[in-house]
Chain A
């Protein structure tokens, strides 16, 4: 069962790029890396998923080095509305059971 470690909190200013790094030293061969965003009193919302190298979608990029023991979520030009908790998860793609564990997440605060 892969355990993840992320910073508890981060501050940024509007318009800046934010990078949140997650460590997952015991990631397994079949594991994917998934990031979720959560606002207060709402369920988590999927942001991005990747297996290796780089993945980009309309809201974020995910950088995964060759050893896959860490990954970095990159949010370009954050706005106040990006203030939320971000969770890094590691697990087999498509499975969200006991092997798909949410940690405490990273609380991102975007300041004006």
Chain B
């Protein structure tokens, strides 16, 4: 399977705990994006990497959120001290700079904070 892979698919955590999600983009894609989606809404942009450099961060990305993309390959999104409002689907997408128009999305990680 050469699509965007996200793990885990589901995560239930207690409020106050830290969680980490992983995204493996399509191998030749040098751009990687994180989005968050709540029920009934479209995805909201969180952050974007080109290779290993984090080039954009949304105001939605509070200091409890951190994302990394070491070596420009897979990426991790960590949420510290989770809150119930963090419950959402976290989507990762990748694209190739200068390539076709579309970004390819993974199936997401659904986070439930109880």
Chain A residues with a Cβ under 8 A of chain B: 32, 34, 41-46, 49, 87, 93-94, 96-98, 100-105
Contacts and interface: CB of A to CB of B under 8 A. Distances in A.
Given A87-B42, A102-B44, A104-B42, A43 B102 contact: no
B97 interface: yes
Contacts of A100: 45
Nearest to B105: A43
Contact of B33 (A32, A45, A96, A101): A96
Nearest to A49: B101
Contacts of A44: 43, 91, 105
B44 A96 contact: no
Interface of B: 4, 31, 33, 35, 40-45, 48, 55-56, 58, 89, 91-93, 95, 97-99, 101-108, 110
B45 A46 contact: no
Given A41-B110, A43-B106, A46-B104, A96 B41 contact: no
Contacts of A87: 42
Contacts of B43: 44, 102
A18 B101 CA distance: 23
Contacts of B40: 104
Contacts of A105: 42
A42 B107 contact: yes
Contacts of B101: 32, 34, 46, 49, 93-94
B98 A98 contact: no
Given A98-B58, A102-B44, A45 B99 contact: no
A35 B34 CA distance: 19
A49 B56 contact: no
A80 B95 CA distance: 30
Contacts of B98: 94
B108 A41 contact: yes
